[in-house]
Structure 1
């Protein structure tokens, strides 16, 4: 039923120009056939009645009331004005009627954003200019035509929503097209606002909030000078927000988080507290810039390794490309529960070049990059979990893994120097190491609940092409060996795959918590000493 109604409404909208054109043609023909011997007084009286009737209809449309007006109501009133000029083109109300009809077309467009109203309004103003140039009101037509062109180019804010994703409050501003904007985070009181350039506010703007079925007073919209729309969001004290864009349709998103609890009075879960605090007790481990700034994690690129014409490793009736896609989807679902957005480098079994996967992290303004793989070895006895960061390989096994995963790289030998520079100058290496350690620890700890003999192969380094060029902490995880029967048997089970996804998410969450609480933990530790 909903589909039927939508289709019917769309079809009705498409008839707008047809109806108006029919009105013009119909009364144009009537006017042409009218005998030129009408009594002048009777003509003026009839035109006056028709014009006044149209004015009454217009006043009803523009006056707020209990009844909802429709596009057809506007079409009917525009048609009534059009009859005045078409039926009595030489009468005293013809030019004014065209002007009023064009004004109604503009009002209808601002309400429903149906371009047909702008088209018809342009026709009416053009007629006013060409046929009634002697009338003073025609001199105002150029300004209104310019306004028609201006509003046609405006973007429109069509929806504003407030949703809860895990512990994150997400505000989403949806527009009909991409626009430039400026945002600012204020304190005292805590507030986030957006100024949207050349943007109109839709009359039927949708505003929804998870916290209330009624109007949420913490979200406000208004018009400013210079054709700017402003959105103001009232936030709890000390709330921090991450602002980013999404596309198709264009949206401006703000993910807002309450500050983490005071670590001096609230202990972390046992699985993360000892590992996290232990790192700060080491005097040789400095606070990196991301930790000094207390940066958060709101978006992650997950890279399901291989795909398409590059199936990756295979063995024991398993395919690496299919398996990594499955794991990526499970990780994505769980990360969404914690308010973290995920961008996948591929969403089906198709080939994506390694270099394009890495560049996606930059293009999407991601905070982390994680590439998922499953290993293979010539030795069927080799099994276990290992995690990699970008660097020069430190042993033969790492060299072999890198060589296998880099087979589809499109680079040539002439670009060797650029690779070396990228690896050597990797400023993200320290944070990548920490993220890799957390993911490795959680994977081993979790998967050993199923098979306590799973080897911990540790965190290693190797020159993976998929990690070169990313500007954020980047990790490649090799989860088991398809060439090993025990690993393969486990990887075929739903429970084991869910454990893998949960362990990866736990590692990411521990890393995120450590980033946000690092300044407080460091200060607390300094005070104790």
Structure 2
């Protein structure tokens, strides 16, 4: 670093450390780990106010624990993390246990760290968590019906050896895990009914994601009892085309909104971004989601499910699973943005697609007229084109929310910019069965914007802007709300 006073010096030092850490893992080089350690320590020592310092400390703790076997240095790092960023003893202990569970696999191989699952009668997701990317074979066998994965050059976390996860619910009986061969891990999903499966891969860290859905779903609906006082329903309106002129299948079939999942990002040990004055993204977006829930339920009448209602850590995969489990019709993930340039101010809204530029990829790395059918039923109605339809509706939802969000933000923030609708492969949107977007409501790295967002009335105004966008989108579908969703209950 030729100029230590260069505005981006801290970020450059951090990225250099990350590169050396990745190179150390790739080439099994202790020397590279030592170089990464020096870069992260330099950042923490010479640039203590840099927003990357927290991540640097977490990476230092990982390097000391897993690669340099220096427990003394690791403990000093955890103490500094607790003091500087208010990590609780419980949060630090959780980090220690997670790192301790990583035992080294065979040379050049990977470690199967954990098996996680979320399941109901009509949807199941299984995540095979690993510490590095791996090659695997998959197949489906009958008598009994099961799906298997043979993961090459892999070892099992000691806690998983010969484990059987007894589920006995929905589509999945159990998950069995074993060291099939000295360098092959086998994971078997024993199924309990006819189902269709999809397999995806997520990275950083590497995970194999298996989604199961029933082959067919009963179309029977519970006929609601007529109310004591019969109020004539509003006349149904035909759905308008999207702003692109598309008449999607959702609009052609007249599908409506019955349930909305709001996802306040981050939570628990995952603070999200932190403003220069100390405002944590996780706290801001939870406040917005709670206000938005009240508005939707009180003024529109749709059912609202929150992925979290308090300061709880929820994994990205679980957030999507919650939306699918409740057969939601919209999924809206709420976040706040950050920039190394503290003067940046603005709002942007994302839908799931490949990122179109480096900036979008960077953000994605830090963070899917009278009918009583719902949008969540779409895959059962016309499975062949459901994915394209969902993408078109997600883009439309993002466009409408973005316009409303900008209109509200410009009343609060003097220099706010309309940063537009963007696409990126956000993990939290992957696998969602309904139109889904991620809204970046503000840059809390901007000191002025951060100060305004510490005040409750300003947060309420931002929540109203989100509400107006959701309401406007629903009106393009005809405006009616489906109320006969007795199968869905609040998540929390």
Scaled by the length of structure 2, what TM-score is found? 0.46
Scaled by the length of structure 1, what TM-score is found? 0.43
Flag the structure with higher helix content: 1
Higher Cα Rg, which structure: 1
Q: Which has the higher contact order (CA 8 A, sep 6+)?
A: 2
